[in-house]
Amino acid sequence: MAAGLRAVRRWGLVAAPPSLAFTRSAFVVKKANNAQPNWLRVGLAFGTSAALWALLIKQHNEDVTEYERRKARAHKCKQCS
């Protein structure tokens, strides 16, 4: 079996991994231009962040209101009445 593997390697029948010189990247990296920021992306990032915070605060206030409502309804002891 080992002799067979040596023969396959010697005759080049095994696919060799491609060298880095012949590969291409799917992504192109370019240097960021900090002198001219992309204001559309900046606005979308800050706008999304503000919208998520507003949604979080709104949901928190609704949860606190529901908690207070349930706490007031559940408290029915004879001593307090």
pLDDT tens-digit profile of 48-78? 999 999 999 999 999 999 999 999 888 677 6
Residue 41 within any structural domain of the chain: yes
Q: Which two tokens stand for residue 66?
A: 């529901």
- The predicted structure's pLDDT at residue 65: 97
Residue 3 within any structural domain of the chain: no
Residue pLDDT, tens place only, 27-55: 777 887 889 999 999 999 999 999 999 99
- The predicted structure's pLDDT at residue 60: 98
Residue 27 within any structural domain of the chain: no
Residue 24 within any structural domain of the chain: no
Domain limits for position 55: 36-80
Q: What is the pTM of this model?
A: 0.52
Q: How far apart are CA 70 and CA 62, in angstroms?
A: 12
pLDDT-derived band of residue 79, with 50, 70 and 90 as boundaries? confident
Structurally, the chain folds into a number of domains equal to 1
Residue 64 within any structural domain of the chain: yes
